[in-house]
Structures are given as structure tokens and as C-alpha cells.
Structure 1
Amino acid sequence: MSPAVAAEDTDVASPEQSESVTRETGTAESASPSPAPTTDAPSQPGTTPAPVTRPAPSEPDRLDPGFDPTLSVENHPAARPLPEPSFDREWVAKAATAYAAARAMPVNEAEPKELPPLTLIEVERRPGMPVPRSIAEDPDRVPSFMRQRAEMSRALRLALRVVAPVLALTLAGQALWLFHDEVAAALPATRPALEAACARARCVIELPKRAHQLRVASAELRQTSEDGGHDLHVGLRNESHWNQAWPVLDVSLTDVQGKLIARRMLAATDYLPAQPDAARLARDGLAANAEQQLVVPLRIDATGVVGYTVDAFFP
């Protein structure tokens, strides 16, 4: 027999041998991963290709005792429907009847009863028992810090009772000292007392001087004689709520070009004596919320006087 024929006899196995090989292969594959599928090798010329045995499909692992290949999702116990709950119809009927009867029963809304009066029970005291006393009756029972605080509070209240009136009188005295003129003008009845107090304190009671509430309402210069005599008619307006002192009048004379020719300052002692009832005007001052007309005689020796201005101010 040639070697080629011997090789063919060796490669071709009998059906019994093939079955045994297949069983042995299947058993080995169950314990190891499935091998990759094999491909047929190309046949050489002059030789007969030998049949190739393919591995059988792997069987399930027999080591898992809970594995059941016939069990599906539909046959799983968890997928089966739960049995319907059973009720005792007789018990349900009795419960419904009892509930309806309870709702039909009338509600007894009885009025609340008055509580009995509270009575004090006198406790019998044994001989030798101390009689309870309050803290007010027994000052020794008061803690030391509370006694100190109470003493400080009493001292503070006493000091305030003494110091508060003194501070109030001092504040009132300072207010009168600073605003004595305004107080005398606003309250004329207090003027004699304020004048007496100022006589001792070496002060003088004067009328208020508020230049921002005083203005010249009108002014007119009239010639009265050929030798330079003129009369100045001035209207002073007091816009304050109380009388004011008489201001100083500033009279300025100008020529055609507006150049100053002459200027004169007139105090109250210069123009009040020429007024009717000069004493009253000097004492009472310029009346509140009123306008006072004044006529002031002037002698002007300068020539070429064309214009003039009149201002009022407090020095």
C-alpha cells in the first residue's frame, strides 16, 4: 500500500469513530469556551479532501441545579395573576348597618357643668414651725446684688429729682439771656421783669433787629427852599411778627452820569424827633406787619443832584 493511500485510510474515520470524537469534543467544550468555527483548508492537487468534523452546539451548564431550559417568561410564577381577594359579605353588611345606625343616633350636646367653687384648705401648723414671710417683710432674705441694685436705683432717682429742676432752670435762664430781646417783643407783659433782671445783669433790653424782614417801600426827595432845603419822604415796611428797632437810613445823591456827589447816614435820633408822636415811636419801635411813613428834612448844598437812593440797615 502506497503512503498516499495509507494517509487517506488514516484520515477517513468510521462512523463509530466520528461519533466518539464528536462526543469527546462536546464534553470538552462544555468545560471550556467554544472554539472559533474552522474553515476548510484548500485541497492540494492529486489528493482527496478529507471530511472536516464541526463541533456540536454547546449544551447548558449542568453545574447550575436551578437551570430549567423549559421555563419561559410566561411560565414563571411571578408572571401569574394574583388570586382575587375574598371578602366576607355578611361581615361587610353588618358593618354598613352599624355605621348607618350610628349616624342616625342624635348627638347629645349637653351644656357644660359649672365647676364647683374653689375652697381653701387651712393647713394645721405644728408647734415650732416657722411662719412663712414674704421678701418685703423680711429684707434679709433679699439677695445682696438685688439690694445693691435697689439702693442704686433709689440714689439715681433722688439725684434726678434734684438735678432735673436745676438743669431746667439753667436752660431757661440761658434762653432768656440769648433771646431776651425777642421775648420782650413777643410778650410785652414780660418787659418790665426783663428790664429789672437786665439792670442787675448789666444788659439792655432792645427791640429785635432783623434786616431781612425790613425794606424801603417808597422814597421821594422834594425841594422845599432855594437855599438847599429838601424833605425826604420814606416809607419803611416791617414784615416781621413783632416790633423792630428803627434802622439807619443810607441816603446817596448822584449826578446825571450816576456819579456819587454826596452821602449821609441818618440814625433814628436824627429823623425821629421831626416826626409827630416821636416819644411813642422811639419807645415802641417799628410796628409789626405795618408800614410807617417818615418825613426827614435835609439840607443839600451840592449842585447838580439828579438822582438818589435810600437804603435801610442795622449796624
Structure 2
Amino acid sequence: MPRPAFSTPAPVPKSDQPRHWPWVVAAVALTIALVLQLMLADRARLAMDAGWRPRLQVLCDVLGCDLPAWREPSAFRVTAREVRPHPVAPGVLLVTLSFRNDARWPQPWPVMEIALTDLDDEALGLRRFSPSEYLGAPPETALIAPGQSASATLEILDPGKRAVAFTFEFH
């Protein structure tokens, strides 16, 4: 049975139909721009996260921004160490140490900390050495590459027979 003419909706001319798609596109574009701005504004903190750093590196390569150098002191591994009396200077110890950067990215040269302890694990001495001190000269580059090894040689005063342990940390 046909419907009466008054119950059928009148067709809306195409020019009168609402156009929502420009607003949707604008909202999506503004949301993406806001997320990118937030990432760029907080890139120093986000760049220290191994999950975010590759994404930020790509973004900064496109936009021409820079990221702070990766800092992961726990990624430095001691590969060899030796503490022995100095061959020519009495009362001095010769400390030789090799270490490697096991981080996935280059990072600044670390500050090396050497601590001496006694039998009771009490600290007898502690000193932090800058890269130019333990390398004997300023490093040739500001960053140590992933997988790169380095050697350090230091002369320290002998604390005597009370010192039984030496620990090495990087900061």
C-alpha cells in the first residue's frame, strides 16, 4: 500500500546537507599538532626513555630539532681492572681499567668513581675522576660510541694494608 505524500520526508537539496567532514579533519589535525608539540616540548625527558628515543629521533630528523645526548651510566661495563703498587713511586698505587659502553646510543664520557674499602666494608677513600683525568687528556669526541672501549690509568695514594677492596662506578 502506498504511503500518503504527507508522511514521506521531503528530499533535502544537496547544498543544504550538513558538512561535518571539514570539522572532523580539522579536529584530527589539531590533535596531531598538539601531540607533536607536547612531544617536542618534553623531548629531553622522553629522550631518556629507550622506547621513546627512536621515535623522537625520527621526529627531530624531520623537524630539524636536536635531542640531548643519551645518558645511561649503568651501561658502562668494566672489562678489565688491575690495582698494583706503582713500579717506581713508593706509596702510590697504579690503577688500570678498561671499560665499554654497552648502551644502544652514544653517550657522554662518564665520570669514574673509585672507592676503597676495608675488611668491614667501611669506606677508606672515594674519588671521582673526570674523563680528562682518567684518559690523560680531554677525549677526542664528546661522546663514546656504542660498543666502544676505553682504557684508564690512574695513580692514587696507597691507603695501606687496610684497603682490601676497590669498587668502580660510573656517573
Both proteins in one fold, TM over 0.5: yes
Specify which of 272, 290, 294 is matched with residue 151 of structure 2.
294
Offset, 1:171: 1.6
8 Å Cα contact 1:250/1:310 also seen in 2: yes
DSSP 3-state at the match of 2:107: coil
1:215 partner amino acid: R
Q: CA RMSD in A?
A: 3.8
Q: What does residue 237 of structure 1 align with? A: 100
The 2-side partners of 1:259 and 1:186 are apart by 44
Q: What does residue 160 of structure 1 align with? A: 24
DSSP 3-state at the match of 2:144: coil
Offset, 1:147: 8.4
Structure 2 vs 1, CA of residues 159 and 298 (structure 1 numbering), >3 Å: closer, same or farther? farther
8 Å Cα contact 1:185/1:207 also seen in 2: no
Q: What does residue 139 of structure 2 align with? A: 278
Structure 1 runs not aligned, ≥5 long: 1-140, 196-204
Structure 2 vs 1, CA of residues 213 and 255 (structure 1 numbering), >3 Å: closer, same or farther? closer
Structure 2 runs not aligned, ≥5 long: 1-9
The 1-side partners of 2:132 and 2:56 are apart by 21
The 2-side partners of 1:210 and 1:236 are apart by 14
TM-score in terms of structure 2 length: 0.64
The 2-side partners of 1:291 and 1:232 are apart by 20
The 1-side partners of 2:160 and 2:12 are apart by 99
8 Å Cα contact 1:217/1:237 also seen in 2: yes
Structure 2 vs 1, CA of residues 244 and 221 (structure 1 numbering), >3 Å: closer, same or farther? same
Offset, 1:240: 2.6
2:107 partner amino acid: Q
The 1-side partners of 2:80 and 2:25 are apart by 58
1:239 partner amino acid: D
Structure 2 vs 1, CA of residues 185 and 165 (structure 1 numbering), >3 Å: closer, same or farther? closer
8 Å Cα contact 2:110/2:131 also seen in 1: yes
Q: What does residue 262 of structure 1 align with? A: 125
DSSP 3-state at the match of 1:194: coil
Offset, 1:229: 3.9
Larger Rg: 1
Seq. identity, %: 16
Relative contact order, higher structure (CA 8 A, sep 6+): 2
Deviation by residue 1:37-90 (Cα, 9 ceiling, x = unmatched): xxxxxxxxxxxxxxxxxxxxxxxxxxxxxxxxxxxxxxxxxxxxxxxxxxxxxx
Alignment partner of 1:194 is 2:65:
yes
8 Å Cα contact 2:112/2:168 also seen in 1: yes
Offset, 1:207: 1.6
Structure 2 vs 1, CA of residues 229 and 252 (structure 1 numbering), >3 Å: closer, same or farther? same
Between Structure 1 and Structure 2, the one with more helix by share is 1
Offset, 1:251: 0.9
Structure 2 vs 1, CA of residues 169 and 229 (structure 1 numbering), >3 Å: closer, same or farther? farther
Q: What does residue 118 of structure 1 align with? A: none
TM-score in terms of structure 1 length: 0.39
Between Structure 1 and Structure 2, the one with more strand by share is 2
DSSP 3-state at the match of 1:278: coil
8 Å Cα contact 1:255/1:306 also seen in 2: yes
8 Å Cα contact 1:229/1:298 also seen in 2: yes
8 Å Cα contact 1:238/1:286 also seen in 2: yes
Total equivalences in the alignment: 153
Structure 2 vs 1, CA of residues 210 and 303 (structure 1 numbering), >3 Å: closer, same or farther? same
Q: What does residue 71 of structure 2 align with? A: 209
Offset, 1:242: 1.5
